[in-house]
Amino acid sequence: MRPSGRAADAMRTISVETNFTKHAEGSVLIGFGDTKVLVTASIEEKVPGWMRNTGKGWVTAEYGMLPRATHTRGSREAAKGKQSGRTQEIQRLIGRSLRAVCDMKKLGERQIVLDCDVIQADGGTRTASISGAWIALRLAIDGLLAQKLITEDPLFQQIAGISCGIYEGTPVLDLDYIEDSNAEADANFVLLGDGRLAEVQATAEGAPYDEEQLLRLLRLARIGCDEIFAAQRKATGR
């Protein structure tokens, strides 16, 4: 029995509020249950130095957590003067995931920065970030297309992330905070709309896992991502 009473293969409610802020070229407040992440997409008409004059664009991400997004207040990374290893690991993952579905040539020599800021945390913030970032990116690119700044759509697939894990011996979908902090193993999957994989990160926390369990977790991830893909399409009118 899961603490939330959910079935092993049940997602939490996905909530999506697009255009949550007004300045960004794309913005969304995405929720997986009580996990709420504000994602904005900012278009910059220049690329990092090492990409200049390649004719290609770049998509990157930054991740942050408001100090009191969590049960007990965490210290502010800006005040500490550095981003934790965890933060850097997460923002690298988000950027890599979004780049996996974006054709940099079609994007042209511009950069899109996805800022994922966790307003409230209850497990799964990195996968909610990826899932929301796709929406913000979609909206930003739709703007570029509408303004005819680009002519071909560079975003060739949907992408979504979901966490699964082995909780009290049972593989379950979409861990919340209580499950996450007690799971024997914890896996994040990033899937494309066509079912292929961009990323698997499966980590033994309390106990090693076997191949069959890994596959069961992947099957749960497919169930969750299908639900996220539908929410993404509804939010962006695709």
Handedness of CA 39, 45, 51, 55 (dihedral sign): positive
Looking at this protein, which amino acid is placed at residue 19? N
Coil vs helix vs strand at 36: strand
Give CA 203 to chain center in angstroms. 18
124 marked as binding residue:
yes
Token pair, residue 216, equals 């069961």
User: Residue 124 interacts with its own copies (CB under 8 A)?
Assistant: no
Segment near its own copies (CB under 8 A), from 6-14, 146-154, 199-207, 225-233?
A: 199-207
Please say which residue, 197 or 230, places its beta carbon nearer to its own copies: 197
Shortest distance in whole angstroms from residue 25 CB to its own copies? 9
State in angstroms the smallest separation of the CB of 191 from its own copies.
Answer: 9
Using CA atoms, how far residue 75 sits from 123, 126, 150, in Å, is 18, 19, 41
Give the binding range for its own copies (CB under 8 A) out of 69-77, 102-110, 142-150, 230-238: 69-77
Considering the complex, state which of residue 82 and residue 148 has its C-beta at the smaller distance from its own copies: 82
Please answer whether residues 45 and 36 qualify as being in contact, where contact means their C-beta atoms are separated by less than 8 angstroms. no
Report if residue 119 touches its own copies, rule: CB under 8 A: yes
Q: Which of 19, 88, 170, 181 binds its own copies (CB under 8 A)?
A: 88
User: Does residue 149 touch its own copies according to CB under 8 A?
Assistant: no
* Number of neighbours of residue 13 by Cβ within 10 angstroms: 10
Helices (H), 84-159: 85-99, 104-107, 125-146
Q: Which residues contact its own copies by CB under 8 A?
A: 21-24, 27, 34, 36, 38, 40, 42, 44, 62, 64, 66-73, 76-89, 91-92, 96, 100, 113, 115, 117, 119-121, 187, 192, 194-204, 208-211, 214-215, 218
